[in-house]
Structure 1
Amino acid sequence: MSVRCARSASVALALAALLLTGCGHSGEGVRDAGDGPGTLADVSTDSVTDAAGGAHAGRAAPEPVRPREIPALGHATRARIPAASTQALVVTGEGADASRATAVLYTRDPVRGWLPADGPWPARNAARGWTAEHHLGDLRSPVGVFGLTDAGGRLADPGTRLPYDHRSAFTADGTGVEGEPLAGSFDYVVAVNYNRKPGTTPLDWTRPLGAERGGGIWLHVDHGGPTHGCVALPRERMRQLLRTLDPARTPVVVMGDAAALSR
């Protein structure tokens, strides 16, 4: 065989060997799996995601979504809202001695927290404002967080889930603090669980704290003037509230002047 033929045969054998390997590498010095070009060994850890799908190393993790709180309520007030409660009517007075307020209904979502569901609605409270220690005849509304478990009125049940006591005894007579007629004020009421026995008609006059601490604090229909201690809402808002409140959601009223509720 000539030298030229021998050289051609050698080149052919070398080419065949390369084709059999599947790549243009002789096999010598091949790095382990995960150590080749383009594998984890050559990629910055700033772009690596862990096996659990967690945040990339070296990058700031996203801020967790925190459930929203009811605005303008202080820590002490929030702490008084039962953990089971997912409905809260927040009545915020214009001042400690003012008789006008604003009401907003909030509902609590298990993930997003407290969200406004309705309102704001105009509201009225007692003629002399608010107090942390209500007494009979002081013409101030009690500050605090109170359950809403029982309803009633002179007019028929508008469709509430609360126990509803429908009877003529809810008739309001006479005039209010400013001389306005009280007729129709108790057409719809929701008892505020201040110094009363929950689970009874709003007309039950049991006073666990004693008669001198007052009672009979209701949400009722606005009669065009300040109240003796109750919270009054426009008629249609009372009907709407009655249809919305659900005892399964442990509804409460959070009521007081803005400064008191911010504590």
Structure 2
Amino acid sequence: MDDRELLTGGLANAGAVVRRGDAVERPAPPHAGALHGFLTRLRAGGFAGAPVPLGPVADGRERLEFLPGEVAVPPYPAWALGEEALVSVARLLRRWHAASARTPFDPAADWPTEFADPEGGPLLCHNDVCAENVVFRAGGAAALIDFDFAAPGRPLWDVALAARYWVPVLDPTTAAETDRARLEVPHRLVLFADAYGLPPGDRLALPSVLEQATAVCRAFVARRVAAGDTAFTGYFEAYGGWVRWDRLQSWLAGQRPLLERELRA
């Protein structure tokens, strides 16, 4: 009898992540050794919002603790776009950063560079806090999963990457096309920064870091599309290709003064 349960969500490992009882089996990232050591120390330090490894990598796959709860996957449910979810993700991210800051990691490890902070930083950032990588319980964000892109960086960089998904940071045309026109970017970005407890200097810098993070995400997509990665090419073509990216980047640059003013206030 096959006791596997296929876990859906995400693009990179679609169809390759399964649950067996209390364990999740998935493709192991190249930095799994360093990551597993970090996750083990993180749990030993009292942070329960991330899975722990359940043994060494075998045949290119890792086994991690299954964290029960609800994960939002497309088409996203209404609660995942609500302000309560937005606030709880920001608070979970702050707890993650506090725990990460006191947990040693190997700076010489081969951490991935795809979404890494170009300036580096003092703690291990998640770098992919999208809806599919957050476990909710009782209506609030309780844990982070999928650390394939974790790398050293600044907390502000991780905040910007997470805000892109959860605000979400979309130009008005794209927001209307995806039925999210009602979600006001300035208001929700301020709400995210408030819930996280972002300090004044970082609040003022957030709009420009958002632009930088968007450019990094675009470059990531460009590499995957150029490589013919079918998990990305279909999604890319279906959602407007470079026209949508160009529009977003142009809109973000024009919105910077407004976003800085709102965040300063």
TM-score higher than 0.5 here? no
How does the TM-score come out when normalised to structure 2? 0.24
Larger helix fraction of residues: 2
How does the TM-score come out when normalised to structure 1? 0.24
Larger radius of gyration, structure 1 or 2? Answer: 1
Larger strand fraction of residues: 1
